Amino acid sequence: MKSCLVLISVLSIQIIVYGVFLRPVISTWGASDSEVHMPLVGDDIAPFISSTRAIVINAPASEVWKWLIQLGADRGGFFSYTFIEKALGYETGNSGKIVPEFQEMKVGRVLESRDRVKSVLKYRFPVVAVELGKSFVLKDWGAFVLKAVNSTQTRLIIRTHGRELSSLMDRVVFLIGTPCHYIMERRMMMGIKARVEGGAGARVSSISDFLWFLGILLSGLGIVAMVFMGRGIQSVLLPAIYGIVWLWPLFISSPQPVYGLSLLLVIAVTGGWLHFKNRAVRIIS
């Protein structure tokens, strides 16, 4: 019972840190103040704005557009974490080239789950507005906008729309879904950037993504184990500190294996130290 209470306390601290410090950061990831506050196409259909995120792509807007409109499970995929998409039952692939038959974006097209039986979370995003070469709007997702910086650089801006939160369950789902959506959307934007800048021969490693995620997952389990391994103040202080640190590679730093695996190594060493320390105490007593 004591360990469960400690675990709840550690989780509560993480939620507070996320809400106060991290949520404002991830909701404007990569975007300037002017981009966050400027009006964009589709704002009129949104109950509220959930986030505005942006990334610089070193290519003209016309080239970025060719990749961007391939978005969708029936086209080039979502350029995000493919192993997570497959685990959720989505049949999708991330195209490594520009496909001529995918070079059309028009109002009425629908981005939806290809296999609505296997998919854990069903989705359906109708295209409700298009300005060729510049922007399109997906209902229940948001606006995808290209802004030319100069002849060789483009800002990809994604403004995510909020949904009607008419019940307590809607609010809970929104609070849980917001950080999950950020993790996938950030990787999608980085994936589009890598493909545009790398061209048809670009290599985007899913192994790197998997190792990063594995490090994050095992680190989280290690923090939970500390709660039950520690004695006295250690069972509270160490998990609380590592719980806060754990949020950094998950939300702030670039999703690279070095960050997730480095944290895992530190937590594993700490866990080993706690194990042998507790064993020595038991032997002496």
Task: Classify 153 as helix, strand or coil.
Answer: strand
* pLDDT above 70: residue 29: yes
Residue 206: the pLDDT is: 82
Burial of residue 234 (CB within 10 Å: 0-12, 13-18, 19+) is middle
Report which of 191, 235, 161 is spatially closest to residue 76, judged by C-alpha positions: 191
* pLDDT above 60: residue 116: no
* pLDDT above 80: residue 86: no
Task: Classify 192 as helix, strand or coil.
Answer: helix
Is the Cβ–Cβ distance between 142 and 46 less than 8 Å? yes
Query: Residue 254 corresponds to which amino acid?
Result: S
Give domain limits for the chain: 2-15+209-284, 31-204
Residue 118: the pLDDT is: 59
Is the pTM of the predicted complex or chain greater than 0.75? yes
Residue 63: the pLDDT is: 94
CATH superfamily of 31-204: START domain (3.30.530.20)
Structure tokens of 49? 């704005």
Residue 282: the pLDDT is: 65
Residue 76: the pLDDT is: 78
Lowest mean pLDDT among 32-41, 193-202, 245-254: 193-202
- Residue bearing tokens 């042998």: 276
Burial of residue 185 (CB within 10 Å: 0-12, 13-18, 19+) is buried
- Residue bearing tokens 């999708």: 92
What whole-number distance in Å separates Cα of residue 216 and Cα of residue 81?
A: 14
Report the share of the chain in percent with pLDDT over 90.
59
Confidence of residue 93 (pLDDT cuts 50, 70, 90): low
Instruction: Tell me the per-residue pLDDT of 118-139, one tens digit each, with 9 for 90 and over.
Output: 556 678 899 999 999 999 999 9
Residue 285: the pLDDT is: 60
- Residue bearing tokens 């702030």: 252
Angle at 256 between CA 224 and CA 89, to 5 degrees: 75
Task: Classify 267 as helix, strand or coil.
Answer: helix
Instruction: Tell me the per-residue pLDDT of 239-284, one tens digit each, with 9 for 90 and over.
Output: 999 999 999 999 999 999 999 999 999 999 998 888 787 777 667 6
* pLDDT above 60: residue 117: no
Lowest mean pLDDT among 8-12, 151-155, 185-189: 8-12
What whole-number distance in Å separates Cα of residue 268 and Cα of residue 95?
A: 37
Angle at 96 between CA 51 and CA 159, to 5 degrees: 10
Instruction: Tell me the per-residue pLDDT of 46-85, one tens digit each, with 9 for 90 and over.
Output: 999 999 999 999 999 999 999 999 888 778 788 888 888 7
* pLDDT above 70: residue 115: no
What whole-number distance in Å separates Cα of residue 256 and Cα of residue 253?
A: 8
Confidence of residue 162 (pLDDT cuts 50, 70, 90): very high
